[in-house]
Amino acid sequence: MSVRFAGYAAIFDVPDRGGDVVRAGAFAGSGPVPLLWQHRGVPVGRIEQLAEDSRGLRVIGRVELPELAQLVRDGALGGLSFGYRVQAARHGRWRELERLDLIEVSLVAVPMQPLAWVHAVAPG
């Protein structure tokens, strides 16, 4: 059975564990991307909505792989991350990511951005 979720794959203006800071507008023009598990190449569901808001990159998706859906449903898996190519960045104390080519969104065990988590789950 599938599960729907909502969460943030990116949080603006907060440094991640690698020293990157995503700036508002970095995902402007991003099109549809796949939903992956741990950045591996096989989709595990689909992204239904993907948009920037004042907090970050908000995602609504559906996990269709039964084992992963159960982990998300149970709250045992809820980290979110994204794969990207840098189009524009500034270097200083942090690497400020100003424009990105979004490649994918992933469910992950430990997100690079500590605040990037699923925050709501509903039956699929």
pLDDT band at 123 (very low <50, low <70, confident <90, very high): confident
Give pTM, 2 decimals: 0.94
Question: Given this model, what pLDDT does residue 76 score?
Answer: 95
pLDDT tier at 4, thresholds 50, 70, 90: very high
**What CATH topology corresponds to 3-123?**
Serine Protease, Human Cytomegalovirus Protease; Chain A (3.20.16)
pLDDT, tens digit (0-9, with 9 covering 90-100), for 46-105: 999 999 999 999 999 999 999 999 999 999 999 999 999 999 999 999 999 999 999 999
CA dist., res. 73 & res. 97, Å (int): 32
Q: Where is 37: in which H helix or E strand?
A: strand 34-37
User: φ, ψ for residue 78 (rounded to 5)?
Assistant: -160, 5
3-class state of residue 25 by DSSP: coil
